[in-house]
Each structure stands twice: as structure tokens, then as C-alpha cells.
Structure 1
Amino acid sequence: MTTLCKVSTLLLTLASITSVDAKPAVNTTNSNLKSRSNVSFIVNGFPTTEKKFFARIGFTFNTKFCGGAIIDEFWVLTAARCVDQVNGQPYEWRHLTVEVGDFTSQVPETSKFRVSRVHIHPEFNVTTNSHDIALIELKRPVPNDRIKEMCTSTPEFGTLVATCGLGSTSRSSVAPASSLRELFFRETFISYSIPFNVGFCPDDQLCMEPVAKGGSICNLDEGGPLYKLHCGTRIPECILGIASYYIVSDNPEMNCRGDNTFASVPFHFRWISSIVASG
């Protein structure tokens, strides 16, 4: 008996959306690939209830932030590009803070966690976007009810997955959302929309096509969790990926459209587990 929940007509009706328009594919090594810009989006997403395992990674020296996924009382997963200062060297712990909560109001000091160490995957490459994953170790534990286990295997194509973030809901605004928003995805190897044209997805990455037309992650949503959803309840089951990169167009109206790429948690499971165990 299978428990997989495929993206279906029911989901499309729920979202009141259609699939992404077919467009010429773009090579993933193209200079249009961006991981940093001046705007952030969960575009065409939906308001969602608090995802307790979602964390916001803040920086002491600017207003930039990234998402994160709480996988252990002392450990948070995020994108390597979020904490990479230069050439694989992480920012010093004193420059980072991890925040938890529903993010509908100012985060209290009790929900802010100081960082003790940062581990960037040793094979992270910002040029090729490979192994874009990192671990942040906290100085004190987060409550156990905020922990979400990692997926140990990649589900079948079409399985219902989602991501959440705090980015702007409009391409014309840089203001973050007042609360978390969620976006549905389906996995794809061969895509007829931006950004894939090689016909396959690297093993260390998950290439996801948004169900929503024009839906996308964008800058500042990097590091956020991709999670498998239970078929019947749509309750998050496990952390499947970490938001990595997307395509940005010179035309602002075309920013953050098409497919998105996430670092695969199942692929990196052994590395993650070894770091957590050594801590």
C-alpha cells in the first residue's frame, strides 16, 4: 500500500492555478543564475500556519536573512551560500543569529538563538551550485516540538512537497511578508521551463517545478526547507531539501519564475548525520 500523494487535479483545483507555461530552457551555468539580489519572493504562494521547524537566519551586519530547517535541538540546516563568507569559509558565529516563532510580530529575545559553529559542506561550489548545504550549531537547544526529522530517501515523482518562506509576495515590493507563505512543488528531471535544459538533475540537487504558474522562491528565501507532505492531511512529514537557487531575468516582471533547485537532504544525509553526531 502506498502513502504517496501525487500532484493531482484536486491540488490544482485547491490552488486555483495551472502549470507553468512551456518556455525555452536555459542552461544552469548561464550568468542569469542568481542567488543574491535586492528582492525576495515566495511568489504565488499561500498563507500558511506556523511551521515550527522553520527558522530565520539573521546577520548582525545587514538586513539580509535566509531560511533554515530545524533538524535537531542544537542543529539547523540552511544553504551554504547563506553562510559562506568567501571560498567556503563561513561567517564567524558572532555575526549570525537563529530566530524561531510564527513571525507575525517582532521575535522576542527568548526566541533568538546564538550560534556556536557553522559547517559548510566541503564540496560546496558557488559557481556550479553543487552541495549548497550547511549546518548551524546552536549554543542552547530549541524546544523539541520544533524539530522535524530529515527524509532519508527521495519520494517518487509527483509526490506532494512544499516550501515556505518570509519573502515578499509581490515582484514590485521588497517588503517581507507579514507571515509565512507556502508554495507547492512537484519534482522534475526534464523541464520545458526555466532553468533546466540538460535533461537531468544532479544527484546532490532536487529540481522542482512549482505547481503555481509563476510561483517561485527568490533571494532571502534561500536556505528555507522543502518538505514532503502527508497525502491526506498535508502535514509536513520530513525535510527533503534546502532552497538553493533560481533564475532571475533582466526584466523585473520575469524575475523568479519557473523551476527552483534545492539541495537534496537524502543525498547529504550521511554528511549531515556525521556532523551532528560529532557535535
Structure 2
Amino acid sequence: MRFIVLLLCLFSVSTVNFTFACECGREGSAGRIFRGKKVDAHKYPWLAHIRSFKNRLFGSFAQCGGSLIDEYHVVTAAHCVTDETGSPTPAANIDVYLGRDKAYSDKTKNNRVSQVIIDSYYKRNNLANDFAILRLSAPVKFTQTVAPICLPNSENGLSKLKVAGWGVVGPSAQSSDDLLEVEVDYYTRSECNDVKANYYLKMNGIPKIMKMYYRIPEVASTHLCAINKKTKGDACSGDSGGPLMHQGSDGRYYLMGVVSGSWAECGQDEDTVGLYTRTLVYKDSIEKIAPNSCWQNLN
């Protein structure tokens, strides 16, 4: 098991009685997103708004997204809950909000965190293994506005994916109060490595014809890449930790990845892609930590 486990330290609506033993990924009642659109109310009931405080007395916090995977656990990015040295944020300094459409003007009650679980191989310099799980202090009740997302048994057949979050809406912009989403295109590993190589060559003023003479580190194996090829829509600052989603033919949503980062801030350079930590890499660990999470075959 590749995690270091750190032992640190509701919003009330009518409960829905699900008829399936493993119900997940259904739209509810009808971290950064660049060139996205506003989301219908409670479309993604698993989406979490996460606030990490350095010191609660000062009131300022870092914003991230996350995804509810069962009644106790929220998946997010490791860099959302660690400091500049890689040390974890104390669980007492993290609040998780569920059932929200608006990041700030909605008034749902915060869920406290009892445990922060971070991949022990997380590397801040290149965001490899950028994955964390938060254990909530108390279980949440599943409703039409709070429900878990499905987890995938494979990464087969990916093409169109979706990202959602409350991050900034462009370079030097403010975070969005409204939940936004954008459709992004999946890149194969070879395509992603090619984009990375071309970006690094461009940033260093090196012609592409010289590519064969330079050894550029490949994208971390824990990452997959995506961006909207037409609009260059992407995740932005504040969307980190949020979900990269695939919608199956039956309407269910699957958590394919977690917003991790990019080589350039959203909208600042069109010759780049977004990096997402692959959920499937962590299947064994998630099953041990969150045994009630729901793994499904893609359709």
C-alpha cells in the first residue's frame, strides 16, 4: 500500500432511498475552468469545495475541488492539502463543503476532516503521484444534492471528458462563485509526451527539428492529459483536486482523474495540456481505505 496514513488531530434535505446496492455517478436534481459554461443546479452532487487554512485565525484559505466517493471519503490532489515543503495540512485546518452550486454565496454546513491520506511518492516538483484522500469526521447522508461518483475499472475508450470546478476563469481573473464545466479531449500518452516536448522546445527557443537531440522527461506515469482542442478550454487555479469525468452511455459519471496542473496557467499558452492524476492507479489503495466506494465497468 503506497500511502502514508496521517492520523490528525449537513446540509439537511430529504434522504433518497436508492434501489441499487452500488448507486453512484447519477446527476442530481436538475479547479479551475477556462472557457467553460455554468452548470445546472446540483448536476454533480459528488463535487466538493475544499478550503485549506494555514491559520484559521487569519481567515484566508486555499481553494480546491474534490469528489465524494463514499459516505466518508473525498478524493482530491495532494498539492491541495500539503504546504511548500510537502508536509500535510493538519486535518483540523481543512473544511469540505458538499451539496453546493455556488462556492461562496451558498450556505451549506462545512464537513470537518479527521484524516489526511497522501501518496507517499508524491513529488511537488513535477506533481507525480498528486493524489490524496480526505476522511470526513462524520458520514454524510446521500440525497439528490449529495451523492458519490463512480470509480472506473478501466481507461478504455476515452475521448470526450468533462471537468468542473469553481476556479479562476482565466489568467489574472477571480475565482467563480458559480460552478463551471468544460468538455475536454483525451490525449494518449504518446500525444501528451509530444505536446510536452514541443512546449519545452518552444519555451527555450529551440526549433522542433532539433527535438531528436534533446532528452525531455516524459509525463509522469500517474498523469493523463486532456484539453479542449478547439477552444483550449481547461482547468485553472482553484480547480485543483476536482474531477475529470467520463459519462457513460447510461448517464453515469466516472472519476477518471483528479485535476493536478499544467506547464502554463490556463489561457496563457495554447501549446499545452492539462495534467490529471489517474484514478485507476490507486484502485487497490482506494479499495482498502474506502471499501464502500463503487467501482464500475465503463459503458
User: TM-score when scaled to structure 2?
Assistant: 0.69
Kindly indicate whether the alpha-carbon contact (under 8 Å) linking 1:194 and 1:257 is maintained by their aligned counterparts in 2: yes
Instruction: Confirm or deny that 1:226 pairs with 2:244.
Output: yes
Map of 2:223 onto structure 1? 205
* Alignment CA distance shift 1:270-1:253 (3 Å): closer
The one-letter code of the counterpart of 1:155 is N
Kindly indicate whether the alpha-carbon contact (under 8 Å) linking 1:171 and 1:255 is maintained by their aligned counterparts in 2: no
* Alignment CA distance shift 1:80-1:196 (3 Å): farther
Kindly indicate whether the alpha-carbon contact (under 8 Å) linking 2:105 and 2:177 is maintained by their aligned counterparts in 1: no
Select between 70-79 and 196-205 the one with higher mean Cα deviation.
Answer: 196-205
C-alpha distance in 1 between matches for 2:124 and 2:168: 24
Residue 115 (structure 1) shift: 0.5
Encode CA deviations 1:92-129: one digit per residue, 9 max, x unaligned. 1111000012333634353x100000000111111121
C-alpha distance in 2 between matches for 1:201 and 1:46: 29
The one-letter code of the counterpart of 2:120 is P
Map of 1:23 onto structure 2? none
Instruction: Confirm or deny that 1:150 pairs with 2:160.
Output: no
Kindly indicate whether the alpha-carbon contact (under 8 Å) linking 2:170 and 2:236 is maintained by their aligned counterparts in 1: no
Kindly indicate whether the alpha-carbon contact (under 8 Å) linking 2:34 and 2:169 is maintained by their aligned counterparts in 1: yes
- In the alignment, structure 2 segments of 5+ residues that lack a partner are 1-30, 199-215, 293-299
Select between 58-67 and 71-80 the one with higher mean Cα deviation.
Answer: 58-67
Indicate the RMSD between aligned Cα atoms, in angstroms: 2.7
C-alpha distance in 2 between matches for 1:258 and 1:131: 20
The one-letter code of the counterpart of 1:264 is R
Kindly indicate whether the alpha-carbon contact (under 8 Å) linking 2:52 and 2:80 is maintained by their aligned counterparts in 1: no
> 1:3-14 maps to which residues of 2 (within 5 A)?
none
Map of 2:72 onto structure 1? 74
The one-letter code of the counterpart of 2:226 is M
- In the alignment, structure 1 segments of 5+ residues that lack a partner are 1-39
Kindly indicate whether the alpha-carbon contact (under 8 Å) linking 2:169 and 2:236 is maintained by their aligned counterparts in 1: no
Map of 1:217 onto structure 2? 235
Map of 2:178 onto structure 1? 179
C-alpha distance in 1 between matches for 2:140 and 2:77: 20
C-alpha distance in 2 between matches for 1:253 and 1:208: 14
Give me the identity figure in percent. 22
C-alpha distance in 1 between matches for 2:61 and 2:257: 25
Encode CA deviations 1:67-115: one digit per residue, 9 max, x unaligned. 00100110000000010125443111111000012333634353x1000
Map of 1:136 onto structure 2? 134
Larger Rg: 2
Any idea what SS the aligned residue of 2:83 has? Answer: strand
Instruction: Confirm or deny that 1:164 pairs with 2:171.
Output: no
Kindly indicate whether the alpha-carbon contact (under 8 Å) linking 1:99 and 1:107 is maintained by their aligned counterparts in 2: no
C-alpha distance in 2 between matches for 1:224 and 1:253: 19
* Alignment CA distance shift 1:72-1:194 (3 Å): same
